[in-house]
Amino acid sequence: MGLSVVILAAGKGSRMKSSMPKVLHPIAGKPMLQHVIDAAKQLAAEQIVVVAGHGIDQVRSYLVAQKVEIAEQAQQLGTGHAVDQALPLVNADNDVLVLYGDVPLIQKETLFNLCQEIPASGINLLTVNLGNPQGYGRIIRDHKDQVMAIVEQKDADQDQLLINEVNTGILAAKASDLLSWLKNIDNNNAQGEYYLTDTIAMAASEGGVVASQPASEIEVEGVNSRMQLATLERTYQLLQAEQLMAQGVTLIDPNRLDIRGELECAHDVLIDLNVIIEGLVKIETGVQIDANVILKDCVIGQNTHIKANSMVDGALIGKDCQVGPFARIRPNTELKDEAFIGNFVETKKTTLGKGSKASHLAYIGDASVGENVNIGAGVITCNYDGVNKFKTIVEDGAFIGSDSQLVAPVTIGKMATVGAGTTVTKDVPANNLVISRVKQKHLSDWQRPGKIKTEEKQ
Ligand code: UD1
Ligand code: CA
């Protein structure tokens, strides 16, 4: 006997006013439906069945790579009818957990508890007490406080409307029981729908209904409009921010951080305003992230400082590095420890060795740069001939003068110096000076200037 999770996602979501199905709208960068699927996966469900209707093609193509089955509900005749469409795909011996594609923040612990000890011919039901129960199905209990039935808002009388305990819609029951109950429901109600909630009265008179509550109301909040989507987004972001602060991270303003992915963050990290985290990001201890930084799929090593308005995407940044302000670190960049990237520097598919610097205005792409290299202002690796990409190699200790172009494929040897404004088209041997402002020359016996004492400078 396994667990089948049925996720209802066939509704139109007309209040979203969107050509995209409601359940594909994101919370924290991830479709609401995916949040629900991920919660189901954490329960080690044997199968996940999504009931789709409106926008089924979009839902299907979104789910294409996932181990999720789809049941079509061509016409939305009600939640009971929706569950009934999934049951033919479900193993009759299984337990069934009913979830909703537009209730994205449901947590695994709540669901795990709900799926324990489902009574034979009974239902485990998730309910919640709301200050304003308007719109929800009300939980009707008898004098012994046993759940008897659910009455929908539109079918409720004056007394029933005063009840604050409402149906979240989330429930667990045995597939075989749901199958027989759903055969017997009708649509003689205010909305002319086949209500899943009508199974509650049936279960109550058979094996019983056990009601439990989620740890937090947020878990069962649904989204019907873009305003509700935005509100839930902020609530969710604030929860993530609170978790980070509890872990020892300083957030200058917990309301101005957005985590759209997974952030693993060590203690004593400082994050300034308007930082966006995407994908999988790891930040080690002592790191400072300044305002308006976007970090995506990257690791930021200990004590590194990412300065304002920088973007880091697909990169491994070592310890004690400095990046930015206004830097763009693109995929497959690796900065070794103590590397320094200044303003208006772009890197891509590049390794910058320990202690190397590119302080201003440079493009370094498809390059392998050794240790203690200095890349001057305005240096460009010309990695692309219009068709192919080529590699630039800069060996340890080389000095690339400002406004130089390194036309790949090309290698700048160890401790070589490229004079400012040089277009390097041929490999430069170690220790050479290369300069091409007039004509490229290689001086094999060239000595680097030593430090001039102040009195000699006069
Ligand atoms: C439902 C419950 C109500 C509960 C509330 C919680 C019923 C009859 N009522 O009411 O007790 O308090 O949820 O939010 O179950 N859906 C389908 N196919 C359908 C109908 C609905 O997939 O034919 C999906 C919708 O996309 C939606 C969800 O089921 O995600 C709930 O449907 P909706 O019609 O919004 O039910 P409520 O009136 O909110
Ligand atoms: Ca609803």
Residues near ligand 1 with C-beta < 6 Å? 8-11, 51, 73, 76-79, 81-82, 100-102, 136-137, 150, 152, 166-169, 195-197, 222
pLDDT at 438: 66
Query: How does pLDDT run across 229-261, given as a tens digit for each residue?
Result: 999 999 999 999 999 999 999 999 999 999 999
Query: How does pLDDT run across 82-103, given as a tens digit for each residue?
Result: 999 999 999 999 999 999 999 9
User: Which tokens sit at 4?
Assistant: 């089948």
Over residues 304-321, the mean pLDDT reads 98
Distance (Å) of CA 48 to CA 43, 56, 97, 177, 192: 11, 16, 10, 19, 28
- 428: DSSP letter: B
Indicate the number of domains in the chain.
2
pLDDT at 455: 75
| Residues 192, 129 share a domain | yes
For atom 13 of ligand 1, which residue has the closest CA? Answer: 169
Does the pLDDT at position 296 exceed 70? Answer: yes
The verdict on residue 457 lying in a domain is: no
pLDDT at 456: 67
- Of the candidates 412, 408, 434, 409, the residue with the CA atom closest to the CA atom of residue 422: 434
| Residues 244, 205 share a domain | no
Q: Which atom from ligand 1 is nearest to the alpha carbon of 137? A: 11
The verdict on residue 255 lying in a domain is: yes
Q: Which atom from ligand 1 is nearest to the alpha carbon of 150? A: 11
Residues 6+ apart with CB under 8 A from 69: 47, 48, 49, 50, 89
Asked if residues 370 and 343 have their Cβ atoms less than 8 Å apart, the reply is no
| Residues 397, 282 share a domain | yes
The verdict on residue 148 lying in a domain is: yes
| Residues 70, 29 share a domain | yes
Whether 360 is a known active-site residue: answer: yes
Q: Which residues of 228-265 are buried (b: 16+ CB within 10 A; e: fewer)?
A: ebeebbeebbeebbeebeeeebebeebebbbbbbebeb
Residue 79 Cα to ligand 1 middle (Å): 6
Dihedral (Cα; 75, 3, 104, 201), 10-degree rounding: 60
User: Which tokens sit at 364?
Assistant: 């370094």
| Residues 32, 90 share a domain | yes
For atom 39 of ligand 1, which residue has the closest CA? Answer: 136
Q: ∠71-220-114 over CA atoms, to 5°?
A: 75
Question: Of 205, 220, 235, which marks where a domain is finished?
Answer: 220
Residue 208 Cα to ligand 1 middle (Å): 22
Question: Of the bound ligands, which one is closest to the alpha carbon of residue 134?
Answer: 1
In percent, how much of the chain has pLDDT > 70?
A: 99
pLDDT at 441: 81
pLDDT at 457: 62
Over residues 423-445, the mean pLDDT reads 90
In percent, how much of the chain has pLDDT > 90?
A: 95
Q: Which atom from ligand 1 is nearest to the alpha carbon of 53? A: 22
Query: How does pLDDT run across 369-415, given as a tens digit for each residue?
Result: 999 999 999 999 999 989 999 999 999 999 999 999 999 999 999 99
| Residues 200, 52 share a domain | yes
| Residues 250, 162 share a domain | no
Query: How does pLDDT run across 321-349, given as a tens digit for each residue?
Result: 999 999 999 999 999 999 999 999 999 99
How does strand 294-300 pair with strand 165-174?
unpaired
The verdict on residue 434 lying in a domain is: yes
Alpha carbon 318 to its chain centroid, in Å, reads: 23
| Residues 241, 114 share a domain | no
Q: How far apart are CA 59 and CA 69, in angstroms?
A: 11
The verdict on residue 458 lying in a domain is: no
| Residues 170, 243 share a domain | no
pLDDT at 133: 96
Residue 224 Cα to ligand 2 middle (Å): 7
Q: How far apart are CA 213 and CA 372, in angstroms?
A: 60
**If you search the block for the tokens 């969107």, which residue do you land on?**
18
Question: Of the bound ligands, which one is closest to the alpha carbon of residue 191?
Answer: 1
Q: Which atom from ligand 1 is nearest to the alpha carbon of 136? A: 12
User: Which tokens sit at 48?
Assistant: 């996940």
14, 23, 50, 79, best to mutate for ligand 1 pocket (most atoms within 8 Å of CB):
79
The verdict on residue 355 lying in a domain is: yes
The phi and psi torsions of 17 (rounded to 5 degrees) equal 45, 65
Residue 32 Cα to ligand 1 middle (Å): 16
Asked if residues 394 and 400 have their Cβ atoms less than 8 Å apart, the reply is yes
Residues 6+ apart with CB under 8 A from 439: none
Dihedral (Cα; 7, 10, 13, 14), 10-degree rounding: -170
Question: What CATH number has the domain bearing residue 100?
Answer: 3.90.550.10
| Residues 246, 174 share a domain | no
Does the pLDDT at position 358 exceed 90? Answer: yes
| Residues 216, 230 share a domain | no
pLDDT at 87: 98
Asked if residues 237 and 220 have their Cβ atoms less than 8 Å apart, the reply is no
Does the pLDDT at position 453 exceed 90? Answer: no
For atom 31 of ligand 1, which residue has the closest CA? Answer: 79
The verdict on residue 240 lying in a domain is: yes
Question: What CATH number has the domain bearing residue 385?
Answer: 2.160.10.10
Residues 6+ apart with CB under 8 A from 458: none
Question: Of 220, 250, 275, which marks where a domain is finished?
Answer: 220
Question: Of 220, 236, 253, which marks where a domain is finished?
Answer: 220
pLDDT confidence of 437, banded at 50, 70, 90?
A: confident
**Which residues, listed in sequence order, are joined to residue 389 by a DSSP beta bridge?**
384
The verdict on residue 65 lying in a domain is: yes
SS3 category, 109: helix
Does the pLDDT at position 452 exceed 90? Answer: no
Q: How far apart are CA 455 and CA 384, in angstroms?
A: 47
Which of the residues 35, 143, 267, 360 is marked catalytic? 360
Per the structure, the complete domain to which residue 430 belongs is given by 226-452
Does the pLDDT at position 359 exceed 90? Answer: yes
For atom 14 of ligand 1, which residue has the closest CA? Answer: 168
Query: How does pLDDT run across 123-178, given as a tens digit for each residue?
Result: 999 999 999 999 999 999 999 999 999 999 999 999 999 999 999 999 999 999 99
The phi and psi torsions of 215 (rounded to 5 degrees) equal -60, -35
SS3 category, 339: coil
Side-chain-side CA neighbours of 403 within 13 Å: the count stands at: 5
Asked if residues 83 and 171 have their Cβ atoms less than 8 Å apart, the reply is no
| Residues 237, 101 share a domain | no
